[in-house]
Amino acid sequence: MPLTRRYFLKSAGLSLFGVGFVPSFLRRTAFAMDHKIGGGRKVLIAIFQRGAVDGLNMVIPYGEQSYYHMRPTIAIPRPSSNGAGDASRAGIDLDGFFAFHPSLAPLQPLFKSKQLAVIHAAGSPSNSRSHFDAQDYMETATPDNKSTNTGWLNRYLLANPEAESTPFRAVAIDPRMPMTLQGAARAFVVNDLRAYRLMGRPTIPVTPAGEENAFREMYASTQDPLLRSNAHETFAAIRTLKSIGVEKYQPAHGAIYPKGQLGHSLRQIAQLIKADVGLEVAFADVGGWDNHVNEGGVDGQMAANLRQFGSALAAFSKDMGDRMANVVVMTMSEFGRTARENGNRGTDHGHANAMLVMGGPVKGGKVYGKWPGLKPGELNQDRDLALTTDFRDVFAEAVVRHLGARKTSVIFPGFQVSPERFRGFLG
């Protein structure tokens, strides 16, 4: 393909930056090394467990006998109170009623040190059982409203602009821009920082430096000043990202990230935070939670996913060290699973779920929220864990008490944010 403006815009612009990224945004920063933003910056990280994680087996209500009646083959054994049996195959006690799945053992020290909390029976008031709709409702923070086309974190950015913002104020580690960050505010999406470069290839084989020079020469002569400026800033961003050593990053404090999607994402987010490039909000997701068949209990598909999940969160916290004092990580999923296991030793689409919050500002060591119960008459539609905490109250507590947001009506349209409904997991 000829080396043309159309080729650059299509192959370099879209492939490099992803949907929703505006290269002209780079003009204010050039970025990190010329304009350090210090390590005291507040950071919020949103992690989406796509596919609807089974919150009842992630954070087990072992004090609820109905849980065991409804899950004869996939229930997690109660924590041992007398040391009998294999403790590694039992729930990890949190407070005498709830327990972590044994695969979440890496998170136990964080819970004990009060850097990790749980909000149970939380989620969306929508009764949709469609993954696609429910994910959109959560990412837009407008349940049952299909007309919203912007994400809640993007609206936070718009409502709280910065005079000296950087292209890395809002980052998604993802192949494409998630709905959470879509909107008018500029956000950056990249799947792998190490591969951040021009994706176009001229027909004549050249070195990467030669390829960049070819693009430079083309845009140096363009009559379009905006396009010329954008190209110049794009190359500056590429060089600066290389200068922070993305390919040579070594996690600190002996942290070892697990292989897999979430470990890969959190490792890169940690690197951006430590590089002081101005990161304020980050997004990552991890799939594999839609276990209709052979979900498993102590072992199985979900146990393996939770092992990766817990190990990735624990590695991130360890890697960040003292910097976790300014970081809050919040997990979410579009809905939970049915209280009863199905005939395929799995669970079907449900309603309320469990959310985790981790970080230095978190008042951890506690399971927050009102527990609705699992007995007859207590279930949503006689099949699901009932909702007692709206996910928007959790999101709002994070942006208000951690990030200092004030214009909440813009961030959560049609929803009255009230600190009286905050669960108190942040001081």
For the stretch 134-189, pLDDT in tens is 999 999 999 999 999 999 999 999 999 987 778 899 999 999 999 999 999 999 89
Which residue in the block uniquely carries the two structure tokens 């849980």?
A: 67
Instruction: Evaluate whether residue 7 is within a structural domain.
Output: no
Give pLDDT tens digits for 56-80. 999 999 999 999 999 999 999 999 8
Q: How many CB atoms lie within 10 A of CB 228?
A: 15
* pLDDT of the residue at 222: 63
In sequence order, what DSSP letters do the residues of 117-181 get, joined into one string?
Answer: EEEEEEE-S-----HHHHHHHHHHT-TT-TT--S-HHHHHHHHS--TT--TTSEEEESSS--GGG
Q: CA–CA distance from 194 to each of 3, 208, 240, 362 (Å)?
A: 24, 14, 12, 32
How high is the pLDDT of residue 16? 41
Q: Is the dihedral of CA 292, 333, 274, 188 positive or negative?
A: positive
Q: Is the pLDDT of residue 43 over 50?
A: yes
pLDDT, residue 17, reads 40
Q: Within 10 Å of residue 238's Cβ, how many Cβ atoms?
A: 16
Q: Within its chain, how far is the Cα of 376 from the centroid?
A: 34
**Helix, strand, coil in percent for the chain, rounding step 5:** 40, 15, 50
Answer whether residue 251 is part of any domain.
no
Enclosing domain of residue 138:
39-196+257-421
Q: What is residue 165's predicted lDDT score, i.e. its pLDDT?
A: 73
- Least confident range from 90-94, 103-107, 231-235, 239-243: namely 231-235
pLDDT band at 23 (very low <50, low <70, confident <90, very high): very low
Q: What is the pLDDT of residue 246?
A: 82
Q: What is the per-residue pLDDT for 66?
A: 98
Q: How far apart are the first and last CA of the chain?
A: 57
Per-residue pLDDT averaged across 236-243, rounded?
65
pLDDT of residue 269: 97
Of 9-23, 74-88, 220-234, 326-340, the poorest mean pLDDT is in: 9-23
- Asked if the structure places residue 161 within a domain, the reply is yes
Least confident of 81-95, 221-235, 285-299, 389-403: 221-235
Report which listed range, 229-233, 276-280, 290-294, is most confident: 290-294
Nearest to 259 by CA among 248, 267, 251: 267
Q: Classify residue 59: in a domain, yes or no.
A: yes
Decide if 366 is inside a domain: yes
179 assigned to some structural domain: yes
Q: Residue 192: what pLDDT?
A: 93
pLDDT of 18 above 70:
no
Decide if 47 contacts 262 (C-beta within 8 A): yes
Average the pLDDT over each of 31-45, 91-105, 315-329 and give the range with the smallest value: 31-45
CA distance 363 to 138: 24
Q: Of 142, 138, 131, 121, give the one whose Cα is nearest residue 380.
A: 121
> Where is average pLDDT lowest: 194-208, 280-294, 303-317?
194-208
Count, residues in the chain:
427
Distance CA(174)–CA(191), nearest Å, equals 5
For the chain, the average pLDDT equals: 86
The average pLDDT across 233-258 equals: 80
Q: In this predicted structure, what is the pLDDT of residue 85? A: 65
pLDDT in tens, 97-128: 999 999 999 999 999 999 999 999 999 999 99
- Please name the residue that has the structure tokens 């993305």: 246
Give me the pLDDT at residue 14, please. Answer: 34
Domains contained in the chain, number: 1
- Looking at residue 239, its pLDDT comes to 64
- Answer yes or no: is 10 within a domain: no
Give the pLDDT mean for 221-235: 56
Q: Contact, 118 vs 367, CB < 8 A?
A: yes
Is the pLDDT confidence value at 50 over 50? yes
Instruction: With respect to residue 244, please indicate whether it lies within any of the assigned structural domains.
Output: no
pLDDT at 4 (0 to 100): 39
Rounded CA separation 285/287 (Å): 7
Residues 329/359, Cβ–Cβ less than 8 Å: yes
Are 139 and 391 contacting, i.e. CB atoms less than 8 angstroms apart? no
CATH number at residue 44: 3.40.720
Q: What are the backbone dihedrals phi and psi of residue 189, each rounded to the nearest 5 degrees, phi first?
A: -125, 135
DSSP string, 284-309: EEE-----SS---SSSSHHHHHHHHH
Structure tokens at 245: 């050593």
Q: Which of 141-145, 232-236, 415-419 has the lowest mean pLDDT?
A: 232-236
pLDDT score of 354: 98
Query: pLDDT confidence of 21, banded at 50, 70, 90?
Result: very low
H/E stretch holding 47 reads strand 43-49
